[in-house]
Amino acid sequence: MPPKSSIQCAMCTKTAVVYHSDSGKSFCKHCYLQVIEGKIHRNITRNKVFRRTDRIVVGFSGGKDSLTILEILNKRQRRIHGAPPILALTIDEGIEGYRAETLKIAEQYCKSEGINHVVVSFKEVFGHSLDEIVKTSAERGLETHACSFCGVLRRKILNDFSLQVGATRLVTGHNLDDHIQTFILNLLRGDTPRIFKWNTFLSGDREPFVSKIQPLYNITAKDIILYLYFKQLPLQEIPCPYSRSQPILRWKVQNFINSLSQSSPEMKYNLMYSMEEIQKIASLAKQEPGKINCCQSCEGPTNPPRVKCKACELFENLGLAPVNKSYSRIFEKYKNLWEIS
């Protein structure tokens, strides 16, 4: 529970209960919710990323970030006359003792809010659960972490599902902490092209990739947790076992940033502003859109110089069959959900 305070709310006469590091002001519960929701709405309207006719898929894990953006975006979409309903997509990676909790949260929330909800599993799509993939990787002596498999396969499903059901926008819950961690990781790895090409908020319309939007890009993980707490929405309690047993560089960067921000809470926002300035510089250079290759195995999109997508490369290293060329057709049966109100 957030600490109580005798300080007056910056927006009303009530007693403040939480300090907001972004604005440097303290707010009561009601006003705090308004601040967070207002900031997210400004992100959307300022960048003009949604059209009334957009068919929106929200990647909905049931965790804090995706629950927050679905809560806000679904209510916004319903206020727009003639706008298609939102479609929530939950991916079950197949992690024993972990995913069941968020699947339950996702199913119950979507049912209570009347949101069209689809659950797709790694097992159904690729023929193997994440647990099985990790086991095979260990048996072959590979050093690839579970998070690497998970991230690649999740991204593939999110894009290909959205493409096959006719979505025009794909929304994910990546927050400020996620973005600055990725920024630092790219610096540490010397991955300069990603630093200049990567956008903190949205990717452009470019077939065969569905435009991805991240409205929480300037909202901290702490603010999201408090938002859900004040809204009395469920919070996931069970951590992913792989994040504990297979610590990767991202978690080390996360711990480093969090330790620094305890004494300098503005640091996270400073990093975000630095990313934005770098992107402004990169935008001054005129760059022709690069060619997109088709994977030799599954025929899905992949960026040069790759001739196979990352997912098929991973399966090849594991000695497993590549992704079936017709796998994404299993998603076409969900097209009719756009017509359900």
Q: Is residue 298 part of a domain?
A: no
Amino acid symbol at 315: F
Q: What's the pLDDT band for 205 if we cut at 50, 70, 90?
A: low
Q: Taking residues 128-146, what's their average pLDDT?
A: 93
Q: What is the pLDDT of residue 136?
A: 95
Distance CA 229, CA 137 (A): 39
Structure token pair of residue 185:
């990781």
Task: Name every residue whose Cβ is closer than 8 Å to that of residue 104 and which is 6 or more positions away in sequence.
Answer: 62
Please compute, for residue 252, the number of CA atoms within 13 A of its CA located in the half-sphere on the CB side. 6
Which structure tokens are listed for 204? 């452009």
Q: What percent of the chain lies above the pLDDT cut of 90?
A: 52
In a domain? residue 3: no
**pLDDT (0 to 100) of residue 302:** 86
- As a whole number of Å, the CA-based R_g of the chain is 21
For the residues 294-309, what does the mean pLDDT come to?
85
Beta-sheet pairing, 293-294 with 301-302: antiparallel
Among 2-6, 77-81, 124-128, where is mean pLDDT lowest?
2-6
User: The domain spanning residue 82 has which CATH number?
Assistant: 3.40.50.620
Any alpha helices (H) in 23-90, and if so which ranges? 29-47, 64-79
| Tokens 């009395």, located at residue | 232
Note the residue count of the chain.
Answer: 341
Domain membership flag for residue 308: no
- Separation of CA 335 from chain center: 22
Rounded Cα gap, residues 335 and 339, in angstroms: 8
What CA–CA distance (Å, rounded) separates 210 from 208?
Answer: 7
Q: What is the average pLDDT across 259-268?
A: 87
Asked if pLDDT for residue 5 goes beyond 60, the answer is no
Asked if residue 17 is part of any domain, the answer here is no
- Is 306 within the bounds of a domain? no
What is the pTM assigned to this prediction? 0.91
Domain span holding position 278: 49-287+326-334
The dihedral through the CA atoms of 275, 276, 280, 286 has a sign that is: positive
pLDDT average, residue stretch 64-78: 95
Report the number of distinct structural domains present in the chain.
1
Is 267 within a domain? yes
C-alpha 78, offset from chain centre: 22
Closest CA to 176 of 271, 282, 66: 271
* Residue of higher predicted confidence among 203 and 178: 178
- Asked whether the predicted pLDDT for residue 264 surpasses 70, the reply is yes
- Residue given tokens 């991916």 in the structure block: 91
Asked if residue 319 belongs to a domain, the reply is no
Lowest mean pLDDT among 53-57, 168-172, 287-291: 287-291
pLDDT of 286 higher than 70: no
Mean pLDDT of the chain: 87
At residue 1, the pLDDT reads: 47
pLDDT the model gives residue 72 = 96
Residue 105, in any domain of the structure: yes
pLDDT digits (tens, 9 = 90+) for 231-255: 999 998 888 888 776 567 888 899 8
Q: What residues contact residue 290 under an 8 Å CB cut-off, 6+ apart?
A: 303, 304
pLDDT, tens digit, 9 for 90 and up, residues 320-333: 988 887 777 889 88
324-330 contacts at long range (C-beta below 8 A, 24 or more positions apart): 324/298, 325/297, 325/298, 325/299, 327/125, 327/126, 327/160, 327/298, 328/160, 328/161, 328/163, 328/164, 328/300, 329/164, 330/124, 330/125
d(Cα 73, Cα 86) in Å, to the nearest integer? 8
